[in-house]
Chain A
């Protein structure tokens, strides 16, 4: 079949060239319309259901909201597992679906189940809504506003009613999380003194307020001729009008709302606060939709808000449009990486010209690069894979290789054409081109398949690693396959057109003329001591393998985004006020670091955000100067960490944004050993967890044993005295409603201000909602009309409550985690399981589960190993098919550790650490190395088989000399294409690809030395070439 393709391409060369040209043009067109992103979508198949339950305690949220939601969602097709967290005032249920299910269908199923749930939730709670599906990188832009003349309420109104709708109208924006400012309410702020004076209870005022205003539809009247809509005007919507609404008629006097309350515009009790450069303001986080393109959406948002700067400036509002702009990193990375690819491309051309010493052959080889890469991009785009840094990375590492097939092909055709000219009866050109092309099929086709095959396991890695690196693998494999196609079609066609009729000067390229005698001499020398060479090689490999485990590793390298995210957390129960105060102190210190341009902070959470952070939690956006190098960025990060470590009373994390997103997406405990205890009784769970932790601590190797979810939060418990309530003719709910109204606020109506809708709420003024005494002294009106303080009816005590309650698959859960030091995890787990089951008593309602990252890891690794071994088997078979000699297959495998050692040396020399990207580098390297060996060994076979040479030193040197240009060229081309990326890999855009490139260059260097210098000697000594039948 291959010969048919090659023959067709030579015969219909014009058609082939025309198709190739058309494909290139169309690919360029598609590329110009494609968007760019940072990473592929790596978030899991997850639907987050969020329910606001303002005023409810953690336990209430769990029982009244989380449980019904979990029950409603249970049994949905495709659910993998459900995790939930209930905190004060908020329920979050995370529904994880199988990775191969459709996320939109899952969302639809969840929404349908939630629709039927509305009546089951307590009044005033919810509704339970699936939060907008955000893209993996989530944040598109972070911006903020501050002002010296406008207050926080005015700022928030401008943001909520002007800025947010404008941003939300941009396609690709999923949501805008707003932190800080004050949400305006028309508040009926009760004056306890006046209530006391008139003997009025809170409930009476609330009822009157409910009747005071609102927005209603009043219907229409209709007669035989017309329909007339009824519209009532004059409902009080100003504070003065509201103040005149009568509550009660007492002794001939009307008591109005204004008599017992101050009607003021006030702030809703806040979930979060924001600060920019240490000044309180409003921070907005623009969230991208699932699948949306960061760069496109970012630009569209900026276009939409263009011109707002001036309007804000006129109103004396400071607008900070780019507190964080992830697109900056994309732009810098793409500029940087395309620049390097261009330099790499120039290197490739230079190498080809120097080695081939013929512009035509160089041109034919180089043409393989754009053709393969552009066609691969076209297919990727048609497959719906967005262009991102990982895809570009795949193309970048393929850059040096896609040209290899063409080089091997062209070089051979070129050589055979030249040799043909020297013959007395030259063969027809078509036949020479065809035969030369077919001659190297073994190296080209099998090698390409091998190179592509070794990447297959990468496509099957599960979890976030898989989601991140699959596009890279796909892009790489596609490029290699396309280069194979080009080598089989376009290259022979071009060779025939451009070389067949050319006057091929029968001169060796000068570089080859210089190198080949030297090379021959070296080979002769080396072949004198084959055992010594093998011994040295094995020693070298062992040294490398010994060093390998000591090289540090990390999941992904430090990305140099020019931005850092800092999380701080104080003890739970810390107020927003204190979090902002701490934040301001930190901001002041951060701003003193050289290179930091802006710092913004938000504390608590946003109204619709999917996070469950309490008021003790803050996040900072630290933006750096645009052109800081990787090293400078690291210095800034080190300084930030130093300040944070110094600061008392906080725990922190400081990451770059993308790493933070990736780690945030990783679900489950990150510790290797986890014991989950399931049960219904929270206190029993706590007790059992403590027992398990105690046992765990006694096991050898246990380190950092922690009981999770045991954090307390301070609460004021108001225990009603029912006997007292009975005595005064009160119902419990009356008391609860009064407490809620006073301290949480009770929205009683809505009012309209132009096109803005605000709540009308009854509440106590801010200064009466601060202290323990304020709660104790709350006046409650009894049935006989007297007003008595709350402590008459309730025991008020400050206690510690649960900060959160976690569920896994609908069950209450308490987890104990541990790390393992200097011990094998499996034996640790076995001992742990045995000891805990023996020493801790469990009942049917309270049972443990032994799990942890180690278990998950082992499962993932097992899958990967099995797949890798399958691929290895297929690769070995392919090599065998290519060279048809099992002995040679094993001799070639010597290449692998040798290449590995080169890669490890490169890692050590560049001072980087091993990451998943490094693994990709090694995989690529093995593919290329095997290909080069195949090229050499199959040529020896060709010399023995076709040219009937006996297998001896001369033939070994001749074969090696003839393959020297191809091997050297492909190695150099690949290495040089990578070189610009490998240099300064700690800089934007090169962080992931850099280490890969360094490994490939290092490994190529060592494996090329082995291939060129050692392999011929090894083959001569241990190989066995005989003419095949």
Chain B
């Protein structure tokens, strides 16, 4: 019994010694017995060293030349291009058969009026002669005179009726097609209208979006059947349109454009001069863009090893690239391959540690 008690005392001393010894005094491998501890010979779980540095108050990324090659970072020189900002709208190619019909009616009435006018003039002369004869010699009967008088009055009434009809047709045309087109249509030698009637050109109805307005000085816009600004053709201003597109809400205008490959009823894309950016700018290719914090950015190589991230302020997207007026200069080296790698390097601390979940 005495011996057993002694053994137990020794055990207690051992327990106490092991339990109360400070953690760092215990052998390292014993503390690693638990499953949660492991050799951390990986990367940078706790300390993240980025190549970020502050140069002239701006955060920049320094990448050595060899590393640039390793990471496949490539740049291209920023070029100068000139554009103006544009708004996109839609248009419909409209059928001018109605105006041609009205023009035909107008011309028929005008021709008829011409005939009536001739008859009226003849009747007028005849009436004057008969009046003289009747007054001077009573060579003709009063009945004959009355007949000539009524004939003259009839022609006069018919002429007035034709005039009213002509006015009505014109008013109808103006109502729907506006004065410019009506005048063009009614003008005998309108070259434009001739091209329209010969289907060399079409009138298109351009509908602006609710918030859009057409610059009063707009002489032409660009249109295309497909959403391709580069190959769009010009359409020339005619006049504001008195009616709207059945499917779109907004101000409407008539433009005319070349009829090549365009058919009546087609819907077209329209590019109108915008109110924003106009003039020259720097072209930033799409592959240089990285989105961060709600804005598009691009990296510029500022010296052999330094890269700076710059915001694309008021940039506009023009078919596959972005155009900026500020923050970038022509001839600067814009990173076109590896921009995301640079962003990752700059925000290396934010890279998720997949094994700590």
Contact = CB atoms under 8 A, between A and B. Distances in A.
Interface of A: 85, 192-193, 196-197, 199, 461-466, 548-549, 551-556, 567, 569-572, 574-575, 578, 581-582, 584-585, 589, 612-614, 616-617, 643-655, 659, 662-664, 666, 668-671, 703-704, 706, 708-709, 711-712, 714, 770-773, 777, 782, 784-789, 792, 797-800, 803-804, 806, 817, 819, 822, 824-826, 853, 856-857, 860-861, 864-865, 869, 872-873, 876-877, 880, 886, 889-890, 913-916, 918-919
Nearest to B337: A581
- Tell me what chain A mostly uses at the interface: helix, strand, loop, or mixed: mixed
A872 B11 contact: yes
Given A709-B357, A824-B22, A913-B29, 15 more contacts: A85-B357, A193-B225, A585-B72, A617-B354, A648-B341, A649-B71, A650-B341, A669-B36, A704-B47, A803-B352, A857-B36, A865-B15, A873-B8, A876-B10, A919-B29
Nearest to B295: A798
Contacts of A555: 32, 37-39
Given A613-B354, A771-B286, A872-B11, A585 B71 contact: yes
Interface stretch (B133-141, B215-223, B343-351): B343-351
Given A199-B267, A824-B22, A872-B14, A193 B227 contact: yes
A663 B355 CA distance: 8
A792 B352 contact: no
7 contacts: A193-B226, A549-B28, A654-B42, A785-B246, A824-B22, A856-B36, A873-B7
Nearest to B40: A670
B247 A199 contact: yes
Closest 7 CB pairs of A and B: A463-B35, A649-B344, A704-B46, A914-B29, A786-B247, A553-B28, A553-B29
Contacts of A653: 42-43, 355
Q: Give the most central of A585, A709, A784: most B CB within 10 Å.
A: A585
A709 B354 CA distance: 10
Given A648-B67, A653-B43, A711-B352, A918 B23 contact: no
Contacts of A574: 340, 344
A861 B31 CA distance: 8
A652 B340 contact: no
A799 B247 CA distance: 34
A585 B344 contact: no
B90 interface: yes
Contact of B31 (A771, A798, A857, A877): A857
B43 A644 contact: yes
Interface residues of B, number: 86
B267 to A, nearest CB: 5
A655 to B, nearest CB: 7
Given A461-B33, A666-B38, A708 B356 contact: yes
Interface in B270-317: 286, 291-296, 317
- Chain A CB within 10 Å — which of B29, B48, B340, B343 has the most? B29
Contact of B37 (A571, A670, A872, A876): A670
B342 A649 contact: yes
Interface in B18-70: 18-19, 22-48, 51, 61, 63, 66-67, 70
A853 B351 contact: no
B327 interface: no
Given A646-B70, A865-B19, A872-B14, A853 B354 contact: no
B171 interface: no
A861 B292 contact: no
Contact of A787 (B24, B67, B90, B353): B90
B27 A914 contact: yes
**Chain A CB within 10 A, most for which of B22, B39, B40, B355:** B39
B348 A651 contact: yes
Contact of B225 (A197, A777, A803): A197
Interface string B121-155: 00000000000000000000000000000000000
Given A651-B44, A864-B33, A877-B7, A589 B350 contact: no
A662 B38 contact: yes
A655 B356 contact: no
A553 B32 contact: yes
Contacts of B23: 824-826
B341 A649 contact: yes
B6 interface: yes
B232 to A, nearest CB: 12
Contacts of B48: 651
Given A197-B266, A649-B340, A869-B14, A569 B37 contact: no
A886 B71 contact: no
A587 to B, nearest CB: 12
A804 B269 contact: no
B209 interface: yes
A571 B344 contact: yes
B248 interface: yes
Nearest to A555: B38
A464 B35 contact: yes
A773 B3 CA distance: 88
B15 A549 contact: no
A348 to B, nearest CB: 30
B250 to A, nearest CB: 10
Contacts of A797: 294
Given A582-B341, A648-B345, A869-B14, A553 B34 contact: no
A853 B71 contact: no
B356 A647 contact: no
Contacts of B249: 786
Contact of A575 (B31, B47, B209, B340): B340
A569 B351 contact: yes
Contact of A570 (B31, B46, B351): B351
B59 to A, nearest CB: 15
B247 A192 contact: no
A886 B6 contact: yes
Interface string B64-90: 001100111000000000000000101
A728 B88 CA distance: 20
Nearest to B15: A869
A785 B247 contact: yes
A786 B267 CA distance: 11
Given A663-B355, A886-B3, A570 B341 contact: yes
A614 B354 CA distance: 10
Given A668-B36, A711-B350, A711-B352, A553 B27 contact: yes
A1014 to B, nearest CB: 21
A666 B40 CA distance: 13
A648 B345 CA distance: 6
A788 B351 CA distance: 39
Contact of A800 (B7, B293, B341): B293
A666 B296 CA distance: 40
Contacts of A581: 72, 337-338
A826 B31 CA distance: 14
A649 B348 contact: yes
Nearest to B28: A553
B63 A648 contact: yes
Contacts of B246: 784-785
A799 B70 contact: no
Contacts of A650: 341, 344, 351
A612 B227 CA distance: 39
Nearest to B19: A865
B46 A462 contact: no
Contacts of A466: 35
B70 A647 contact: yes
A570 B351 CA distance: 6
B11 A916 contact: no
A651 B350 CA distance: 10
Contacts of B31: 553, 857, 861
Nearest to B319: A773
A707 to B, nearest CB: 11
A886 B10 CA distance: 12
Contacts of B248: 786, 788
Contact of A772 (B38, B291, B337, B355): B291
